[in-house]
Amino acid sequence: MNTECWQEKGLKYLCLENERVKVVFLPEIGGKMIEMINKMTGRQFLLPPSGEEKPYRPAFYGANFADYDASGFDECFPTISPSGYFAPAAAAHSPALFFPDHGELWSQPWRYEIAGDEVRLQAQGVRQGYLFTKKVSLRQNKIILDYLLQNSSPFPFSYIWAAHPLLRVTPGNKLLLPESIDRVLLNWVSDQQLGDFGTVLPWPALFAPGDPTDYSAVQNGSHNLAVKCFTFALDRGFAGVYYQDSDETLLFQFDPAAVPYLGVWLCYGGWPAEEPGKHFTVALEPSSGRPDSLEIAIERQECAHIGAGEQKQWRLEISLWEGRRVGD
């Protein structure tokens, strides 16, 4: 594996590659991955910034995610949507907290260290005491992301972690999910007439019988719809996209005991709502909780927890395959 660092337009770039895979990170912008390339086919899987008006640039804590590049692969933690948080164990010692849009990590500069055949990127909590570490390594056709969460506070806390890879797709690409998924929880939809938050919808015909569309296939940008939904607890931890034009699969694999849910973001011209430049993308988001709001996830008892002084580890394995491939 080769690693390379360089400076461009005032930002540090960090690249890892082997004979089959290339990935590039921006440590100063949330440690985000901006390139994930299959060197065998030349396909770049991650969505680039939507235009010159939203280039890569550092954000400030509490910024609105949509005001920045809204691209690539960010880490959402400890919430996805803006959320209040009240920690009962610390009630006598601290007031209620508020975590910003897409969490605390995407808007921070991360530290990084190259150690042999791996790279470690780290960020610290702002309103909660924790250290978040992402270790990156490559193994043939695989990108291995090993996560370590260390609670440095004397109190337990609850959280949601979600991978947030915004993917480049074309109409007709196929979403590959476990066969057991036959229903999803609606988190948000751009057309409010199609459903309310918390509605349980069939998968993949989300809005049947009025709309018989098979949403396991990528739709056209003219579909003018954006929807975020979550699976129920998974029995198999994988999700992928099959690109039929190049006969290759991008596959995400994870342990459903540690990461029990999958968020599915389908954006076919329905977001951002207030801007003319609409996104065309899909995100498959392995998640430790649901829905997007940590506060609501706590109420539903569908979030992760870490004890005082404890640490949690989990892994996300991303693999690039010739042909159509699903998880083990």
Residue 327 lies in a domain: no
- CA-to-CA separations, 259 to 283, 302, 323, 326, in angstroms, rounded: 16, 11, 26, 18
110-140 confidence digits (pLDDT tens):
999 998 889 999 999 999 999 999 999 999 9
Residue 81 lies in a domain: yes
Choice among 42-56, 158-172, 299-313 with the minimum mean pLDDT: 42-56
Q: Which residue has the higher pLDDT, 88 or 165?
A: 165
CA distance 102 to 66: 10
- Inform me whether the pLDDT recorded for 313 exceeds 60: yes
Residue 328 lies in a domain: no
Residue 94's pLDDT band (cuts 50, 70, 90)? low
Residue 312 lies in a domain: yes
CA distance 245 to 253: 23
Number of other CB atoms surrounding residue 323 within 10 Å: 8
Q: What is the CATH number of the domain that holds 240?
A: 2.70.98.10
- Inform me whether the pLDDT recorded for 93 exceeds 70: no
pLDDT confidence of residue 274: 79
CA distance 295 to 18: 41
- Inform me whether the pLDDT recorded for 211 exceeds 90: no
Residue 206 lies in a domain: yes
Q: Which amino acid is residue 299, in one-letter code?
A: E
- Inform me whether the pLDDT recorded for 52 exceeds 90: no
- Inform me whether the pLDDT recorded for 319 exceeds 80: yes
Reading phi first (left if > 0) and then psi (alpha if -120 to 50, else beta), residue 75 is in beta
Q: Whole-model pTM?
A: 0.96
Q: Residue 110: give the domain boundaries.
A: 6-322
* Structural domain count of the chain: 1
Residue 155 lies in a domain: yes
pLDDT confidence of residue 95: 62
